[in-house]
């Protein structure tokens, strides 16, 4: 599991419509220096952690947040999200 706290600074610095620079992506990048890249998609979240590529499932709550953020980042507030690692 991955617990992510999106703070005001992540919302303010995030870029609407940019999977690698949205508020959730910035919060994940801030959480661990070993994370080199994050891409937030509609159904999944991809993270490069060192030499590993990890995929997490997006939740309904996180999907709503991203959708609202992409429409107008001033419409979202700081929040915490929990993502489950997908196994293939």
Q: Does the pLDDT at position 71 exceed 80?
A: yes
Yes or no: say if 30 and 10 are a contact pair by the CB < 8 Å rule.
Answer: yes
Calpha distance 51→10 (Å, rounded): 25
33-70 pLDDT, tens digit each: 999 999 999 999 999 998 999 999 999 999 999 999 99
Q: Give residue for tokens 């620079």.
A: 21
Q: What is the pLDDT of residue 36?
A: 95
Q: What six digits make up the tokens of 54? A: 């990890």
Q: What is the pLDDT of residue 88?
A: 63
What does pTM read for this prediction? 0.94
Calpha distance 79→33 (Å, rounded): 21
Domains of the chain, residue spans: 2-85
Q: How far apart are the first and last CA of the chain?
A: 15
Calpha distance 65→56 (Å, rounded): 16
């Amino acid at each position: 599991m991955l617990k992510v706290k999106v703070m005001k600074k992540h919302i303010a610095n995030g870029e609407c419509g940019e999977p690698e620079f949205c508020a959730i992506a910035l919060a994940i990048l801030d959480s661990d220096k070993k994370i080199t890249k994050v891409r937030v998609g509609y159904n999944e979240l991809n993270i490069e952690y060192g030499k590993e590529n990890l995929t997490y499932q997006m939740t309904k709550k996180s999907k709503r947040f991203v959708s609202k953020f992409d429409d107008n980042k001033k419409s979202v507030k700081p929040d915490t999200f929990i993502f489950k690692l997908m196994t293939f």
